[in-house]
Each structure stands twice: as structure tokens, then as C-alpha cells.
């Protein structure tokens, strides 16, 4: 049983709290029995599993106080596992392209949404939060194990591309044949260089007099459901046919400011 705070396995867990450590080790941490079960169910092989002494969870036992000390959860945990990161080598449609989304909770939620509704690929562009950070992993509810992820730029994503903007875009019906849905940070939105690479802009209509904008994860859920429903109607993968009709260039559009992430 691990009874020393200087144990190398506990040191590794502490190191993986930081993005630099995760990138160096190409690994990440999950906390709790549910995420451990999700990883195993997805066929992932943990590098190590640490469990509180007496929990009966089957990992290497650790003094409960020491396990709580390395936990990022305020209430501690009974199980901590270290997993290798898995990255996709290609971008498959349907694709969700995220640009500058810095809140890890939103990134994790979008990974979960894509896994639930579309599959395909989640492409992480510049300045996105790490999908393997503790907060993102918890928000993904285990989808980080099953949803393909890639770090890439918008130009490497499949066409046609639709930019989700707060105002001035077409209605959600325009999403039906999109191969890539592009989302930006809630305050800054998508930069002009990304908008210039999109065939159309789409705005989700809101009730007059209500909230001025949607959280980016909520926007992603609505957009993904629309694309998934259109694919089910046509019995073909989303984005398999280019959008026809009066597509418009949108390099002049920009997402107006919204409230920052909580």
C-alpha cells in the first residue's frame, strides 16, 4: 500500500494537474469510479489505477488521506487513474471546429455533445482549453475516451463549413449539409480569418426580450442536433454533399460580444 506522499505514482498524478505535465507525459488523469469504468468500457488501458485503501476497487491501494491530497476534487475521490492521451490522425466529417474556447468545461461539454449526437471529429484550433484537463474530462463524462480529437487549423477541416454567429446569419436550416461547424469563444467569437474560410454563417434565433446570447456548449448542442436530424432524414452522413443554392461568403461578419464563461 502506498503510504508516502513522495511516492513516484503520486508525484505523477500531481504533475498531470498542469497542462505542461500532460503534454510532456502525453497522459491525463481521471477521478472517480464512473470515469474509470467509462475508460475501461471504451477499451482504454490505464497506465496506473490508484484506489483508496479498503475501497475494494481493484487498483493499487493508497492511504485515503494521500489520495485526497492529490485529488483535484474538493471532496476527494476513491479512485484515480492515469491514461495515455489518444489523438486522431485525420479529420472526418462531421467535424466540430473550436477556436479560442478557453473554458475547459465548455470544451469537455462539446466533446460529450459530439460523441452523443454526431461522432466525427472534434478539431481544436488555437487557444483552446486542453480537453484532457481535469475540468474538461469531468465535463465530457467519459466521452474523451470515445470521441476522436485532433489539434489542427480550420483550413484542414472538411467543407462546406458553417460559422455559428450570434447575429446576422442564416437560420438553422442552413446547417443541414454542413460538414464542419465552427464555434468561437463567447466574448470574442470567431476571428475574421476563420470566418473567411466558411461558406455560410448561421444564427440560432432567440426569444425577443430574453437572454442576449447562448452559452457556446448550448449552441453546439442545438447545431449538432440539427445536423444529426438532417442526416437521419437523408440516411447519409452529415456533410456528405456540398450545400447548394445561395451560399454566401461571410468574411465581413463577426460575433458580437457576449457574456464570458462562468
pLDDT tens for residues 158-170? 999 999 999 899 9
pLDDT band (50, 70, 90) for residue 237: low
pLDDT over 80 at 256, yes or no: no
Q: Terminus-to-terminus CA distance in the chain, angstroms? A: 40
Dihedral (Cα; 110, 205, 191, 148), 10-degree rounding: 20
Return the pLDDT at 72.
87
pLDDT over 50 at 253, yes or no: no
pLDDT over 80 at 242, yes or no: no
Write the pLDDT tens digit of every residue in 54-94: 888 888 999 999 999 999 886 778 999 999 999 999 999 99
Return the pLDDT at 67.
94
Return the pLDDT at 236.
60
Return the pLDDT at 187.
82
C-alpha 180/C-alpha 40 separation (Å) is 30
Write the pLDDT tens digit of every residue in 96-113: 999 999 999 999 999 999
pLDDT over 60 at 173, yes or no: yes
- For 24, the 3-state DSSP assignment is helix
* Grid cell locating 180: 464542419
pLDDT band (50, 70, 90) for residue 188: confident
pLDDT > 90: what percent of the chain? Answer: 77
Task: Please tell me whether the overall predicted TM-score, pTM, comes out greater than 0.85 for this model.
Answer: yes
Helices 104-117 and 216-234 pack at an angle, to 10 degrees, of 10
Instruction: List, in order, residues 6 or more apart from 240 with CB less than 8 Å away.
Output: 93, 179
What is the average pLDDT score of the chain?
Answer: 89
- For 123, the 3-state DSSP assignment is strand
Residues 42-63: what's their mean pLDDT? Answer: 93
What ranges do the domains of the chain cover?
Answer: 8-84, 95-234
* CATH no. of 8-84: 3.30.1330.30
Other CB atoms within 10 A of residue 215 CB = 18
Return the pLDDT at 213.
79
* CATH no. of 95-234: 3.40.1280.10
C-alpha 24/C-alpha 5 separation (Å) is 22
Question: Which position has the higher pLDDT, 218 or 207?
Answer: 218
Contact 46, 39 (CB under 8 A): yes
Return the pLDDT at 115.
98
Amino acid at each position: 500500500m502506498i503510504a508516502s506522499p513522495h511516492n513516484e505514482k503520486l508525484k505523477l498524478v500531481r504533475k498531470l494537474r498542469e497542462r505542461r505535465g500532460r503534454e510532456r507525459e502525453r497522459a491525463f488523469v481521471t477521478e472517480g469510479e464512473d470515469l474509470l469504468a467509462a475508460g475501461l468500457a471504451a477499451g482504454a488501458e490505464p497506465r496506473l489505477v490508484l484506489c483508496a485503501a479498503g475501497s475494494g476497487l481493484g487498483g493499487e491501494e493508497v492511504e485515503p488521506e494521500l489520495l485526497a491530497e492529490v485529488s483535484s476534487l474538493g471532496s476527494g475521490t476513491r479512485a484515480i487513474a492515469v491514461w495515455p492521451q489518444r489523438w486522431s490522425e485525420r479529420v472526418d466529417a462531421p467535424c466540430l471546429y473550436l477556436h479560442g474556447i478557453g473554458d475547459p468545461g465548455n470544451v469537455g461539454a462539446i466533446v460529450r455533445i459530439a460523441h452523443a449526437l454526431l461522432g466525427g471529429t472534434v478539431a481544436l484550433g488555437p487557444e483552446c482549453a486542453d480537453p484532457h484537463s481535469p475540468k474538461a474530462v469531468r465535463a465530457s463524462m467519459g466521452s474523451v475516451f470515445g470521441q476522436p480529437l485532433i489539434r489542427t487549423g480550420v483550413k484542414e477541416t472538411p467543407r462546406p463549413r458553417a460559422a455559428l454567429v450570434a447575429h446576422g446569419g442564416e437560420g438553422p436550416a442552413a446547417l443541414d449539409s454542413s460538414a464542419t461547424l465552427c464555434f468561437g469563444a463567447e466574448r470574442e467569437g470567431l476571428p475574421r480569418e476563420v470566418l473567411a474560410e466558411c461558406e455560410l454563417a448561421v444564427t440560432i434565433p432567440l426569444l425577443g426580450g430574453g437572454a442576449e446570447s447562448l452559452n457556446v456548449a448550448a449552441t453546439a448542442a442545438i447545431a449538432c442536433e440539427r445536423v444529426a436530424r438532417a442526416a437521419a432524414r437523408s440516411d447519409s452522413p452529415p456533410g456528405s454533399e456540398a450545400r447548394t443554392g445561395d451560399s454566401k461568403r461571410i468574411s465581413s461578419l463577426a460575433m458580437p460580444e457576449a457574456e464570458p464563461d462562468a
